[in-house]
Structure 1
Amino acid sequence: MSSNHRLYAYLNDEFLPLESTYLHVSDLSIQRGYGIFDFFKVQGGHLMFVDDYLNRFFSSALLMGLPVPYSEQELKDILVRLVQMNGIPDAGVKMILTGGYSENGYDPAAPNLILLQQPLTLPSEAQVATGIKIITHEYVRELAAAKTINYLVGIKLIQQVKAKGAHDVLYHHNGLVTEFPRSNFFLVRQDDTVVTPAREVLKGITRKNVLELAAKKYQVVEADVTLEDIATAKEAFMTSTTKRILPIIEIDGKPVGKGAPGAVTLDLLQDLVELENRQVV
C-alpha cells in the first residue's frame, strides 16, 4: 500500500478520513479503560468468518452492558462499505465499542462505535518453520469471556518477554493454564490428542475453527491444562486471527517435545490455510 493511500474509518454514523477520526477525552475508554473490541481478517476483499466475529462482538457487549447501536446485519453492511472504500483486499478490521462520553468519568453513556481497517502481517514461513519461545505468568483476565480493551498486564510484561528472548506470555493461575494476552493455547499429547484450556479463556474464532478441523483427524479435548501437562506434551501451539497457528518450541526455557514444530501442528496449519482459502472462493 502506498504511503499516500487514504484510509477511512467509521465513527458513529460517519465515514471519516482515518487521520480525522477522534474520540473526546471524556470517553470511558480513555477515562477508565472501559470498552470492548473485536478483530477479523479481510482476505481477497472477503470478510473472513465475519458472522462468528460479530456474534462474539455482540456477546462481549452484552457481558459489559454496552448496547450495540446496530443489528448484526446492519453492522455487516457498514463493514462491507468500509472495506470497499479503503480498497485494501488483504487487511485487518477492528471494531471498537466504548463506554461513551461520561459526564462524571465513571458512569457509562451512549457507546461510541469505531471501525478501523489496517494492513495486516501474518507469520512468515521462516517463523512457522522455526517456532517461537514463550514464558508464563500467573494471572487470570477479568471477564475472560468478553473481548475487552483491557490489556494492562500483557502490555506491562512486554519488556520482560523481550528480555527473556521470548515471543509471548502464557497466563496461568495456580498452575492451571488459560491463554495468551491475544491468543489461545493448544497442546498435543503423546498420543496426538489435541487439547485446549476450557475455562477462563476467550473463545477465539480461530480456536473454534482449529477444534473443528482437528476433530476430523484427531481426538480433541477441551479441558483443564496444567503446567505439568505442558512438560509432558509432544507439541504446543497458539492460535489467533493474526497468527493462524504458530508452533511453540520452548516454554520458560524448557523445550516442548523435541523442541521443534511438530507434525500435528503443521498439519492443522495447512488445514486452516485451506479453510481460509475456501472462504474466499
Structure 2
Amino acid sequence: MYVYVNGEIVRKEEARISPFDHGFMYGLGAFETFRTYNGHPFLLDDHLERLNDSLVDMNIDLVLHRDEVMAVLRQLLQANELKDVYVRLNVSAGVGDIGLQTDSYTAPVVIVYMKPLPSVASSEKVCAILKTKRNSPEGKKRLKSHHYLNNVLGKREIGNDPRMEGIFLNEQGFVTEGIVSNIFWVKNGIVYTPSLETGALNGITRQFVLALFTALQICYEEGLYRLHELETADEVFLTNSIQEIVPVVRIHDRCYLGKEGPVTKRLKKYYERFAAHLWTRHELIERIDQQW
C-alpha cells in the first residue's frame, strides 16, 4: 500500500517521521478517519472542519481545504488501485526541541493513510459495559487526537472480536460512548444519545445522524443518562465513519431489536442513499426535499 507524507506518495514501509516530532513526543496531533464510496469521501467537509478546529486548539498552524485533500486522495486511490477505502488523514505538530513548546507549530507533518475496507463487516454488535471509565478530555472538549490509551484499555477488555463493542461510562456513572463509536437508543419512539457534556467525542457520523433526525422530523434528546436508561431501550445502535450505522442486538444478557429496529432500518436506508454524494451534513435537507 502507498501513503502520502508531506507532498510525497511513498510505500507504507518507507514512510518516516522525525523522532523529534511533537506528535510523537507529546501527543500533539489530530486525525480523521472516513470512507470513500466509489472514490467519494463521505462528509469530507465536516471531517475537515473538525480537524481544522482541533489544529487551532493544538496551536498547529495549518488549515486543510477540500481541493487539496481531494488531490491527495485521487493520487492515493490511483496508486493503490482502489475506490472504496478506509482513510486516515493525520496531522502531527512537527519537529521541535525537547521540552514543552508554547509557540505555534509552523511545519506540521501531514500523512494520509489508506487501506482496503474489511472484507467482513459485522451487521449487528454485541456490547459490553466496560470497567474502564471514560477519562475526561484534557482540554475543554474531546479531540480526535493522538491520546488513545483510554480507548486501548477499553479494547483490551473486550478483545479483538469484530462483533463486540465496549461501552464507556464516565466517572460520574453516565453512559458516554463506545470505544470507537457513539451510541444511540430508542424508547417509546424517542431517540436518546449522551450529551457531549459526558466527555464523548462529537463524531462526524453522530452529527450526521442528528441532522438526519431533524430532516426526517424524528424526535431525539441529548442528555445525561444512567445505565438503566440504556438497558431498558427498545432498540440500540452505534455510529462511526467506517462502520456507519450498526444495530446492537445484545448488551450483556439484555436483547434488543438489532437490525429489525424500525428507526435503525430507516436511518440505514437514508445513509446508504447519501454516502456516495454528500460533502457535508448541511446538504441534507436540500437533498431530501429534492429527492423525496
Per the TM superposition, whether the score is higher than 0.5 is: yes
Counterpart Cα distance in 1 of 2:73 and 2:44:
10
Q: 1:155 to 1:145 in 2, by over 3 A?
A: closer
CA contact (8 A) 2:236 2:258 kept: no
Larger mean CA deviation between 58-67 and 137-146 belongs to 137-146
Closer, same or farther: CA 260–254 of 1 in aligned 2, 3 Å: farther
Q: 1:274 to 1:147 in 2, by over 3 A?
A: same
Per the alignment, in what secondary structure is the counterpart of residue 67 of structure 1? coil
Which residue does the alignment assign to 1:58?
A: 52
| Residue equivalent to 2:117 | 120
Q: 1:152 aligns with which of 149, 161, 176?
A: 149
* 31, 39, 48: which one aligns with 1:37: 31
Q: Is the 8 A contact 1:67 1:111 kept in 2?
A: yes
Matched position secondary structure for 1:209? helix
Letter in 2 for 1:53: H
Per the alignment, residue 3 of structure 1 pairs with none
Q: Does 1:183 align with 2:185?
A: no
Assess if the C-alpha contact under 8 Å between 1:28 and 1:105 holds in 2.
Answer: no
- Counterpart in the other structure of 1:241: 241
SS of 1:54's equivalent in the other structure is: helix
Mapping of residues 85-124 of structure 1, within 5 Å: 85-107=79-101, 109=105, 110-121=107-118, 124=121
The 8 Å contact of residues 9 and 15 in structure 1, kept in 2 or not, is answered as yes
**Structure 1 moving runs of 4+ over 6 Å:** 163-166
Q: 1:19 and 1:97 mapped to 2: Cα distance?
A: 19
Q: Does 1:274 align with 2:268?
A: no
Aligned-residue Cα RMSD (Å) equals: 2.7
- Displacement of 1:41 in angstroms is 0.8
Question: CA offsets, 1:32-60, max 9 Å, x none?
Answer: 33211111111111122211111111111
Q: For residue 140 of structure 1, what is the aligned residue in structure 2?
A: 135
Matching residue of 2:189 = 192
Report % sequence identity: 26
Q: CA deviation at 1:96?
A: 0.9
Q: What does 1:13-52 correspond to in 2, within 5 Å?
A: 13-52=7-46
In 1, Cα distance between the equivalents of 2:21 and 2:57?
Answer: 19
Inter-partner Cα distance in structure 1 for 2:159 and 2:189? 31
What residue number does 2:222 align with? 222
Q: Judge which range, 63-72 or 145-154, deviates more.
A: 63-72
Paired residue type of 2:133: E
Structure 1 CA distance, aligned partners of 2:194 and 2:120?
23
Q: Distance in 2 between matches of 1:81 and 1:259?
A: 39
- Range 208-217 or range 159-168, more displaced: 159-168
Structure 2 gaps, min length 5 = 280-292
SS at match of 1:96: strand
1:11 CA drift (Å): 1.5
Q: Aligned equivalents of 1:70 and 1:260: distance in 2?
A: 37
Partner of 1:250: 250
Secondary structure at the counterpart of residue 247 of structure 1: strand
Instruction: Please tell me the residue identity of whatever aligns with 1:220.
Output: Y
Q: Contact 1:195–1:220 at 8 Å: present in 2 too?
A: yes
- Kindly provide the amino acid, as one letter, of the partner of residue 43 in structure 2: F
- Per-residue displacement from partner, 1:154-199 (whole Å, max 9, x unpaired)? 112323213999712222221212222321111111x221121122
Question: How many residue pairs get matched?
Answer: 269
Match of 1:4 in 2: none
1:141 CA drift (Å): 4.2
Counterpart position of 2:158: 161
- Stretches of structure 1 that go unaligned for 5 or more consecutive residues are 1-6
Q: Give the drift of 1:214.
A: 2.9
Alignment-mate amino acid for residue 239 of structure 1: T
